[in-house]
Homo-oligomer: A and B are copies of this chain.
Amino acid sequence: MKNPTAILLLHCPDKQGIITDVTRFISDNHGNIVYLDQYVDTVDSMLFMRIEWELDGFLIPREGLRTYVNALFSDRYDMSINVFFSDEKPRMAIFVSKLSHCLYDLLARYNAGEWNVDIPCIISNHEDLRYVAEQFGIPYHVFPITAENRAQTEQAELELLRRERISFIVLARYMQIISDDMIREYPHHIINIHHSFLPAFVGARPYHQAYERGVKIIGATSHYVTADLDAGPIIEQDVVRITHKDTPESLVLKGKDLEKIVLSRAVTKHIERKILSYKNRTIIFG
C-alpha cells in the first residue's frame, strides 16, 4: 500500500515568503513533499496552494496537525486552510432520478477501484434505478417527493446523510431542486451535472433549447451547487460538435456521453482534493 500523505489546501492574500514558509515548515519537520502546486491570481492578488507530503517520519502527529497548521499560518497570513489525509476516504452519496448513464459510469469506476472513496448509499425520488444499485450491492433509499412533503423529506434525507457520515454528494441527473438547508450543510460539497454548456441554457430541457437556438456545439457542465440555480462554481466542462442533422432526441443521446464523462472528471478532482473555490470560480490543480 502507498505511504499515507497529508494534503494541505490553502488560499490567502499573496505576500512574499508564504511558499518559503510553508515548504520550510514541512521540510524542517522531516516531511517528504510529493506534490506542490500553487497559483497566484494576479487580478485579485490571492495565492492558492496545494501541497502534499508523506506522513511517514513526519515529526508532527497527525491528530494535532490541523490545529498546528492553523496556529502557525491562519492569522499571520489571513489564510483559509484545509487539511486532509490520503488514508481517510471521503464518503460519497449519489442522488439519482430515472436516467442510468451517469450512475453506471460512477459505479463502474468505483467497482474498478479507480477512486479512493466509499459509496455507502444511493438516494432517489423514484424506484426506477434500484436494479442498478442492486447490481452493485449498494443500499438504495427511495424518498418520494411531493409538493407537500418536500421539507420533511429533505430532513429525512439529511438524517440519512449524517448517519452515513457522508462527506460529499453527487447529483447524477437528479431532477429535484436541492434545498438551501442541504446546501448549507454541504457547502461546495454537492456536485451537479448540468446538461448544457453553462451559462447557456440554464434551467429545464437544455437540449431542446440548444436545438431551437441552432447551435453547432453542445456541452455539459459540472459545478458545485449553490443557492442560485445552475450558477455555482464550475468544475469542468466539455463539448461535442453537432450538425443540422441532429434532432432534440439525438442531442439527448450525444449529450449523455458528455454528461457522464464531465461529471466523473469533476468527482475525480474532488476526491483527490484538487479543487479550491474562490469568488464563484474554481482553481483546479493539475
Binding site for B on A (CB under 8 A): 16-17, 19-20, 23-24, 27, 32-36, 38-43, 100-101, 104-105, 108-109, 111-112, 114, 135-136, 197-201, 212-217, 219, 233-239, 241, 243-245, 247-248, 253, 257, 261, 264-265, 280-284, 286
Copies of this chain, how many? Answer: 4
B38 and A36 contacting across the interface, CB-CB below 8 Å: yes
A241 and B241 contacting across the interface, CB-CB below 8 Å: yes
A198 and B215 contacting across the interface, CB-CB below 8 Å: yes
Given contact pairs A100-B111, A280-B214, A16 touches B33 in the complex (Cβ within 8 A) = yes
Q: A53: shortest Cβ distance to chain B, in Å? A: 10
B200 and A217 contacting across the interface, CB-CB below 8 Å: no
Q: A2: shortest Cβ distance to chain B, in Å? A: 12
A100 and B114 contacting across the interface, CB-CB below 8 Å: no
Residue from the list B34, B114, B197, B247 in contact with A43, Cβ < 8 A: B247
Measured between beta carbons, the chain B residues less than 8 angstroms from A40 are 35-36
Measured between beta carbons, the chain B residues less than 8 angstroms from A286 are 243, 245
Given contact pairs A100-B108, A243-B286, A244-B282, A16 touches B39 in the complex (Cβ within 8 A) = no
B34 and A19 contacting across the interface, CB-CB below 8 Å: no
